[in-house]
């Protein structure tokens, strides 16, 4: 198993197509975006090349390749408005293993370690992340990597007929 992490610096139509497929994957939707109703869960999501280029203005995005096949992406941004703890110089991270063949192989662990190193190398020493309370697999991964729960935001996202909390976690590098 060969893993590669490649920083995305310019949007390409083929990458946008993959992101759009992942963004509408029924498995990933409840794990990656907050929704308030079933209608929002069911809503189709699409980005354009321009949308992705705009996102690249404040996100550092890395593509995750397994044996030369794109299987996921991870990203970070610095000091976004949605931080729970407004500590200057905080990286907010996100990760998505979009392809089923990339899941359950430890890729998330290795990818997050790489992302943490990129953040540290760029002079930042605190990371905050949000994970929905029903995503116990991700919580287990973050705890294994040393993240600590700092808050729970109730009624944050709709899942299986009810509103669920968002757990905020942090780690100092």
Specify the CATH number for the domain of residue 67: 3.40.630.30
Q: Is residue 137 part of a domain?
A: no
Write the secondary structure of 97-131 as one string of H (helix), E (strand) and C (coil): ECCHHHCCCCHHHHHHHHHHHHHHHCCCCEEEEEE
Q: Is residue 168 part of a domain?
A: no
Q: Is residue 148 part of a domain?
A: no
Decide: 106 and 70 in contact? Cβ < 8 Å: no
Q: Is residue 87 part of a domain?
A: yes
Q: Is residue 152 part of a domain?
A: no
Q: Is residue 136 part of a domain?
A: no
Question: How many domains is the chain built from?
Answer: 1
Predicted structure pTM score:
0.94
Q: Is residue 151 part of a domain?
A: no
Which residues of the chain carry a pLDDT beneath 50? none
Query: Structural domain of residue 101, as residue ranges?
Result: 3-129
Cβ neighbours around 44 below 10 Å, total: 8
pLDDT tens digits, one per residue of 94-141: 999 999 999 999 999 999 999 999 999 999 999 999 999 999 999 999
For the chain, what's the residue count? Answer: 173
Q: Is residue 170 part of a domain?
A: no
Q: What is the pLDDT of residue 1?
A: 85
């Amino acid at each position: 198993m060969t893993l590669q992490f490649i920083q995305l610096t310019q949007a390409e139509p083929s990458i946008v197509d993959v992101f759009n497929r992942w963004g509408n994957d029924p498995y990933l939707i409840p794990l990656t975006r907050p929704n308030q109703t079933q209608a929002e869960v069911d809503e189709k999501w699409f980005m354009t090349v321009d949308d992705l280029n705009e996102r690249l203005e404040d996100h550092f995005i890395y593509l995750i390749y397994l044996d030369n096949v794109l299987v996921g992406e991870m990203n970070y941004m610095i000091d976004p408005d949605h931080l729970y703890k407004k500590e200057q110089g905080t990286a907010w991270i996100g990760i998505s293993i979009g392809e089923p063949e990339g899941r359950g192989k430890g890729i998330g662990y290795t990818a997050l370690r790489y992302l943490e190193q990129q953040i540290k190398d760029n002079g930042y020493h605190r990371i905050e992340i949000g994970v929905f309370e029903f995503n116990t697999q991700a919580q287990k991964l973050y705890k294994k990597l040393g993240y600590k729960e700092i808050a729970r935001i109730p009624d944050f996202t709709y899942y299986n007929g009810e509103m669920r909390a968002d757990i905020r976690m942090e780690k100092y590098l």
